[in-house]
Amino acid sequence: MKVTVLGILVLVGVASGADAQPAIYRCAGASGTVYSDRPCGADADQHQTDTSRVTVYTPAPTPERTLPAATANKAASKRPKSGRGAGTDPAKHGLKCAKLDQALREVRTKMRTGYGAKEGERLKARQQRLGEQRRTEKCR
């Protein structure tokens, strides 16, 4: 087990592109061949790794991707025209938001009172639709 783990570590060290290779010693022991960074006995010999078959790949850096001007203009033109930022009249926007807020208050008031299952589902769906409209219009 030590042989395999240490052998893998040696290969990883070689494959990582380390310029200065540390000395690696190979010793024959009772449990088999052992590789170490220190001599493990009088019969230890220095092991030379064969790096001729090791390839190190370093990918080229990826350049920053920018959109061409024509693509950027197309993306900007596909944005929705609704909401406060689309050049709408602030008074109309405020009035629309006020109406949505009032409708939401009415739905919530009805939800606090007693109602049947069918009516509850209808109120919940209406509340979700009004909330979506409010977010679309960017009401505060």
pLDDT tens for 103-133 read 999 998 888 888 888 998 999 999 999 999 9
- Across the chain, what does the average pLDDT equal? 76
pLDDT score, position 12: 53
Whether residue 7 is predicted with pLDDT greater than 50 in this model: the reply is yes
- Among 3-17, 27-41, 118-132, the least confident range: 3-17
What pTM does this model have? 0.38
Residue written as token pair 């009516």: 119
> Residue 19: is its pLDDT beyond 80?
no
User: Residue 83: which pLDDT band, with cuts at 50, 70 and 90?
Assistant: very low
Indicate whether 15 pLDDT > 60: no
Each domain of the chain, given as residue ranges in start order, spans 2-47, 82-136
